[in-house]
């Protein structure tokens, strides 16, 4: 029996343009399980990123509730929510959002100091270890403008992992990368998941989707179906791709 890590109940998100109402999320009900690699897919404009932001507390919902480990985000004060995001949530986006005048190592260290879970020396050691694990240790003293897109994104993953998050949120993490860098980043995310890291990822890329063990399909602001798979293994990749494609075909993706 899997443990529910993150739960959305009747989640709504409404935007207004003048008097025009845009219901982006329409009563979403979803459970995200511990140690799963969960993928959210759907057509453009379906509300995938909006759902990710709603579940992570980055965006305020219009209705319903979101709970992390049983604690409702809506009941938290602003300081409590900021602490939760710093200590329990890790974020990776399509753009790395690295600070341009800090080195790769300094970008990771700053996030570690914010999480404040360990001593300064422990944070420094962990940052160096993570950059080595991500394959960018040799570039750790360079600035973001002096490294490749793949190196910058792998640094962003290290930054997201420095606080030992309970869940890693990834919004199109390979959207700005070429094929070889995409593979490298996906390999890192897959390995983190094998080590027990819970991941929730939004993607439109089949190369990314096959890495998940659970795929959710969002349409018109609602989750209409899900596909459950075994853990990822390279030998299964084509089979997984065919299975997901067949399933997406039923969704008219």
Q: Could you report the per-residue pLDDT of 42-71, keeping only the tens digit for each? A: 998 899 999 999 999 999 999 999 999 999
pLDDT of residue 159: 96
pLDDT of residue 76: 94
Q: Are strands 167-171 and 89-92 parallel, antiparallel or unpaired?
A: parallel
Strands (E), the chain: 4-17, 20-33, 37-42, 63-68, 71-72, 89-92, 167-171, 198-202, 214-219, 222-228
- 17 — pLDDT class (breaks 50, 70, 90): confident
Buried/exposed 142-173: b ≥16 CB within 10 Å, e otherwise: bbbeebebbbbbbbbbbbbbbbebbbbbbbbb
pLDDT of residue 218: 97
Q: What percent of the chain has pLDDT over 70?
A: 100
């Amino acid at each position: 029996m899997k443990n529910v890590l993150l739960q959305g109940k009747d989640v709504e998100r409404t935007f207004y343009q003048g008097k025009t109402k845009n219901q982006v999320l329409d009563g979403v009900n979803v459970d995200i399980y511990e140690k799963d690699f969960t993928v959210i897919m759907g057509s453009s404009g379906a509300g995938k990123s909006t759902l990710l932001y709603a579940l992570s507390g980055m965006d305020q919902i219009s209705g319903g509730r979101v709970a992390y480990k049983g604690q409702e985000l809506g009941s938290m004060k602003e300081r409590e929510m900021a602490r939760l995001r710093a200590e329990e949530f890790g974020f990776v986006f399509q753009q790395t959002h690295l600070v341009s005048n800090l080195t790769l190592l300094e970008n990771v260290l700053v996030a570690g100091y914010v999480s404040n879970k360990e001593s300064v020396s422990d944070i420094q050691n962990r940052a160096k270890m993570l950059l080595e694990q991500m394959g960018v240790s040799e570039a750790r003293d360079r600035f973001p403008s002096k490294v490749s897109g793949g190196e910058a994104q792998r640094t962003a993953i290290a930054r997201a992992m420095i606080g030992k998050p309970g869940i890693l949120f990834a919004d199109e993490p390979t959207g700005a990368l070429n094929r070889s860098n995409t593979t490298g980043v996906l390999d890192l995310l897959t390995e983190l998941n094998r080590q027990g890291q819970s991941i929730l990822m939004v993607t439109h890329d089949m190369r990314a989707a096959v890495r998940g063990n659970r795929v959710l399909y969002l349409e018109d602001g609602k989750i209409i179906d899900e596909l459950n798979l075994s853990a990822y293994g390279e030998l299964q990749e084509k089979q997984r791709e065919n299975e997901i494609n067949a399933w997406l075909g039923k969704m008219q993706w």
